Amino acid sequence: MARSVNKAILVGNLGRDAETKFTPGGAAVTRFAVATSRRWKDQTSGEWKEETDWTNVTLWRQENLGTYLTKGKQVYVEGRIHTRSYEDKDGKKVYATEVVADEVILLGGNAGGAGGERSGGDEYSQASSRPVSMPRSAQQRSAPPAQQDDYPQGITDDDVPF
């Protein structure tokens, strides 16, 4: 069988505050929508046009993150595209396509301000440069243990010729 890939990466702004609910088994499900935009110059009129796409995102088992996902925040989302179906109240089959997130990282700033701006008051604004969730590939490694001084004669970094 041929190998396949189902990966979605979004960088955009939250269109509404995230909602966290719990399944009967106790698993947290956080849902939010991300707006991504693109701009282009119309070939016929020469005017700049803009188009915004809205993507629904589902995040499992991260109930603590939901409080930071507020309208206007810029966010990085990495996950897979998933289409599910259900019956509405009229018995009609409805299909919904969403991104099931594996990684969510809050980026600096919000839609109304400059990137990295701190607005004070909430816990996140006190550490806006700290991502709430970080991709495994970018996680910091622990520092190696301090080495004993092999050159007790007082050699410093300035003594190294390169």
Q: What is the per-residue pLDDT across 130-153, written as a single tens digit (0 to 9) for each?
A: 444 544 444 444 444 445 545 445
CA geometry: angle 119, 125, 131, nearest 5 deg: 140
Q: Which residue has the tokens 């990295």?
A: 116
pLDDT in tens, 86-116: 999 999 999 999 999 999 999 975 544 434 3
pTM above 0.85, yes or no: no
So what's the pLDDT on residue 160? 55
What does the pLDDT average to over 15-27? 91
**Better-predicted residue by pLDDT, 151 or 29:** 29
What confidence tier does 30 reach under pLDDT thresholds 50, 70, 90? very high
Q: Tokens 């698993």 correspond to what residue? A: 27
Q: What value does the mean pLDDT take over residues 9-21?
A: 93
Give me the CATH code for the 8-38+49-133 domain, please: 2.40.50.140
What are the sequence ranges of the domains in the chain?
Answer: 8-38+49-133
Contact between 61 and 102 under an 8 Å Cβ cutoff? The reply is no
* Low-confidence winner among 20-34, 43-57, 84-98, 113-127 (lowest mean pLDDT): 113-127
Average pLDDT over residues 11-27: 92
Question: What pLDDT, on the 0 to 100 scale, is given for residue 85?
Answer: 92
The chain-wide mean pLDDT, for the chain, equals 76
Q: At residue 141, what are phi and psi to the nearest 5 degrees?
A: -90, 155
Q: What is the mean pLDDT of residues 75-91?
A: 93
Q: Return the pLDDT at 120.
A: 30
Give dist(CA 135, CA 105) in Å, integer. 8
Looking at the chain, the whole-number percentage of residues with pLDDT higher than 90 is 50
pLDDT at 114: 38
